[in-house]
Amino acid sequence: MPELPEMETYRGLLHQQICGAAITAATVQREKTINVPPAQFVQTVQGNRLTLIERRAKHLLFHLQSGHVLLLHLMLGGFLYLGTAEDKLARTAQVTLSFGERILYFHGLRLGYLHLLTPDQIDERMASLGPEPLEPGFTLDRFLELLAEKRGVLKTTLVDQHWIAGIGNCYSDEICFHAGILPTRRIPELTAGERARLYHSMQTVLTEAIRFGGYMDQPLYRGDRLTGGFDERCQVYDRGGEPCPRCGQPIEKGELSSRKVFACTNCQH
């Protein structure tokens, strides 16, 4: 599932490619992907101009000139492709938005959604999300305050979107590996030093993942050399059985609360 770095990569690239352009056409192939009747969706967005693209947690927010906002959550298996009718992928798109000859294809939204909302509805949807881990106000002191309130397992806490927004399966494991802490540790057991390391690892891993375009393997558009560049830099996630890059011991794959978890039980403590 795309996480904060993947969605931030999409946001930055789409801002460069289509922000400020008018939506010249729209199609809906799967009605359940949207939250209004298809005719209403098309009538509202067609002719509207895209004024701003924001990211919040694992969501993208496409702000339209009319004041409406398209709220995207890709969930599991969703991805975007920006191309033309000639170079489109051999995949069904649940929704398309055309910007002249260029078309933004929304693929794999069987679980995800693209909802047309008002600003008040957006505020209501986003209200329960936790703070952004890379925002300037998210200091070490703030992190320690939030951590002091938790009693559960570290990985389960890191992926809780109501606690901190944007981290999922991949980056929770990568952050724990960088910090040298097992993701199965209980939070009350963490020392002051481990808590500080965890914060700095969160900043380092997420910033690096954005810099290298996240781990999505499908380029956003033809010639896109950024998207997916972090995949080969993942240290433990989805690397069960491979040697640990720090100590050489095989990385172990386990399960925690129905989530995959990857760690080195030799050099993470």
- Measured CA to CA in angstroms, residue 1 lies from 53, 69, 96, 198, 232 at distances of 20, 22, 21, 22, 17
Catalytic-labelled residue, pool 125, 150, 211, 259 = 259
Please state, in angstroms and rounded to a whole number, the distance separating the CA atoms of residues 123 and 24: 27
Q: Report the SS3 class of residue 140.
A: helix
Contact present, 264 and 249 (Cβ < 8 Å): yes
User: Looking at 2, 5, 133, 219, which residue is catalytic?
Assistant: 2
Catalytic annotation on 253? no
Is residue 131 part of the annotated active site? The answer reads no
Catalytic residue among 3, 6, 8, 174: 3
Q: Would you state the torsion angle of the CA atoms of residues 25, 26, 29, 32, taken in this order, to the nearest 10 degrees?
A: -170
Give the DSSP letter string of 2-56. --HHHHHHHHHHHHHHHTT-B--EEEES-GGGSSS-HHHHHHHHTT-BEEEEEEE
Cα separation, 23 vs 21, whole angstroms: 7
Question: Using CA atoms, how far apart are residues 219 and 185, in angstroms rounded to an integer?
Answer: 36
First to last CA, the chain: 27
88 flagged as catalytic: no
What phi and psi, each to the nearest 5 degrees, are found at residue 61?
-120, 115
Catalytic residue among 56, 58, 155, 239: 58
User: Which DSSP category does 218 fall into?
Assistant: S
**Which position has the token pair 């919040």?**
56
State yes or no: is 58 an active-site residue. yes
Catalytic residues: 2-3, 58, 259
